[in-house]
């Protein structure tokens, strides 16, 4: 776990010094003097860093040299992140779900500090509508817990803002034509690469806490999502090489914070216009399965200021769909079954 205050641990000081001089070894004596500890303590700190995945080479009478940073999503590799989203970072090798871990923190009875919960794998990850989200090592599984300065009625826009931020990060880092699918999925070449899930506890006029979960198919070796409507893909598959997950989280978090600030400053149009410009849903014929009642089928025409999808059905009636499962239709998807 990492915060933004208190005494800096010896391991963090050692890592910082080694990162500053990656080409040259730093002697144990110099590290000990800078950290105010013994050389034995420095040796233990280096061992802890190696246990966390850092590759550090020790040369007698010359010192320590950092050869490779840890591939894990450790706080030391993610910081700094925007304080409005992640004033502290909690990293776990494995959890049932980062959303569940964030909820436990939120309901713990103490003031909520903006927190990022990130895990290397999830054993019970989930997506929208209770679907299972396979969470093998190599992906990005993260939940941001914070108290937004927004009315509860505007929270659906947060999921849209985070999806826009994800697509923007993929475009910036990997030059991929990332598109957003209503409400909160990100596609590349028609294949799902990431998704956003929001949960909150609120009163009629204020949000007590909001958890925004993000799942990104990054570097998993094999990807199989049972029952998925949209085929999935990983960034490594699409780019042809493993991606730097820590850099991805940093770029995405900065973009998400900027979009969240747009919402807080009542610049909703900026978020919605960005979504429209990246949309893979608008202009398509869709079927939206609602939580209750018959599905809405028609052409997706726009996104409303509330974040609802505006669908014009075959009678010309426009429906504002606030929640549901959206499927992009092909002609074959609407053909009635044959009677034998």
Cα distances (angstroms) measured from residue 321 to each of 34, 187, 295, 306: 60, 21, 10, 10
DSSP string, 282-338: TTSEEEEE-SSSSPEEEEEEEE-TTS-EEEE-TTS-EEEE-S-EEEE--HHHHSPPP
- Over the stretch 66-101, which tens digit does the pLDDT of each residue have? 999 999 999 999 999 999 999 999 999 999 999 999
Q: Is 132 a residue whose pLDDT tops 70?
A: no
What's the pLDDT band for 137 if we cut at 50, 70, 90?
Answer: confident
Task: Supply the CATH classification number for the domain 285-334.
Answer: 2.30.30.100
The pTM (predicted TM-score) of the whole model is: 0.88
- Indicate the pLDDT class of residue 294, thresholds 50, 70 and 90: confident
Q: What average pLDDT score do residues 281-305 get?
A: 94
Task: Determine the pLDDT at residue 223.
Answer: 64
Domain extents in the chain = 10-68, 75-278, 285-334
Q: Kindly tell me the burial class for residue 320, based on how many C-beta atoms sit within 10 Å of its own C-beta (0-12, 13-18, 19 or more).
A: middle
Q: Where are the beta strands (DSSP E) in 182-240?
A: 185-188, 191-203, 206-216
What is the tens place of the pLDDT at every residue in 114-128?
Answer: 999 999 999 876 655
Least confident of 3-7, 178-182, 196-200: 3-7
Give the pLDDT band of residue 292 (cuts 50, 70, 90): confident
pLDDT at position 2 is 45
* pLDDT at 225 > cutoff 60: no
Point out the least confidently predicted range of 2-6, 92-96, 262-266.
Answer: 2-6
CB atoms under 10 Å from CB of 33, counted, come to 12
pLDDT value at 14 more than 90? yes
Per-residue pLDDT band for 36 (boundaries 50, 70, 90) equals very high
* The pLDDT of residue 332 is above 90: no
| Mode of pairing for the β-strands spanning 285-289 and 206-216 | unpaired
CATH class as words, domain 10-68: mainly alpha
Residues 6+ apart with CB under 8 A from 160: 180, 183, 184, 271, 272, 275, 303, 307
Give residue 306's pLDDT band: very low, low, confident or very high (50, 70, 90). Answer: very high
Q: Where are the alpha helices (DSSP H) in 214-287?
A: 235-239, 245-264, 268-278
Pairing of strands 88-95, 55-59: unpaired
What mean pLDDT value characterizes the chain? 90
Q: Which of 37, 38, 46 is nearest to 66 (CA)?
A: 46
Position 213 pLDDT exceeds 60 = yes
pLDDT band at 321 (very low <50, low <70, confident <90, very high): very high
| The two structure tokens encoding residue 299 | 């052409």
Check: CB of residue 287 under 8 Å from CB of residue 178.
Answer: no
Residue 291: predicted pLDDT: 84
Q: Which two tokens stand for residue 336?
A: 């009635």
What is the pLDDT at residue 5? Answer: 40
DSSP secondary structure, 80-142, as one string = S--HHHHSEEEEEEEES-HHHHHHHHHTSSSPPPPEEEEEEEESS-B-GGG-B----TTSEEE
Alpha-carbon distance 117 to 52, whole Å?
Answer: 17
Fold type of domain 75-278: BirA Bifunctional Protein; domain 2 (3.30.930)
Report residue 339's pLDDT band, with 50, 70 and 90 as the boundaries: very low
Residue 247 pLDDT exceeds 90: yes
Query: Of 138, 134, 142, which Cα lies nearest the Cα of 221?
Result: 138
């Amino acid at each position: 776990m990492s915060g933004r205050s208190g005494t800096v641990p010896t391991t963090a000081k050692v890592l910082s010094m080694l990162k500053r001089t990656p080409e040259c070894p730093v002697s144990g004596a110099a590290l000990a003097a800078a950290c105010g500890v013994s050389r034995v303590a420095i040796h233990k700190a280096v061992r802890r860093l190696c246990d966390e995945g850092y590759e550090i080479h020790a040369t007698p009478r010359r010192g320590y040299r950092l050869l490779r940073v840890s591939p894990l999503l450790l706080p030391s590799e993610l910081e700094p992140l925007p304080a409005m989203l992640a004033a502290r970072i909690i990293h776990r090798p494995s959890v049932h779900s980062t959303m569940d871990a964030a909820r436990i923190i939120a309901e713990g009875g103490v003031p909520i500090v903006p927190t990022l919960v990130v895990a290397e794998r999830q054993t019970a990850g989930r997506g929208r509508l209770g679907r299972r989200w396979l969470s093998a090592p190599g992906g990005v599984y993260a939940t941001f817990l914070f108290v937004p300065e927004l009315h509860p009625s505007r929270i659906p826009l947060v999921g849209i803002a985070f999806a826009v931020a994800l697509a923007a990060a993929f475009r910036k880092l990997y030059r991929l034509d990332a598109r957003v699918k209503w409400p909160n999925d990100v596609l590349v070449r028609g294949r799902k690469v990431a998704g956003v899930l929001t949960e909150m506890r609120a009163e009629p006029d204020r949000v007590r806490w909001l958890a925004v979960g993000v799942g990104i198919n990054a570097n998993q070796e094999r990807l199989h999502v049972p029952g998925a409507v949209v085929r999935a893909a990983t960034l490594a598959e699409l780019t042809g090489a493993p991606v730097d997950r820590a850099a991805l989280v940093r770029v995405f978090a900065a973009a998400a914070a900027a979009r969240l600030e747009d919402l807080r400053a009542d610049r909703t149009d900026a978020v919605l216009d960005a979504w429209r410009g990246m949309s893979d849903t608008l202009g398509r014929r869709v079927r939206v399965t609602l939580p209750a009642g018959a599905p809405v089928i028609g052409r997706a025409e726009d996104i409303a200021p509330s974040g609802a999808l505006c669908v014009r059905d075959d009678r010309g009636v426009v429906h504002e769909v606030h929640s549901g499962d959206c499927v992009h239709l092909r002609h074959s998807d609407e053909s009635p079954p044959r009677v034998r």
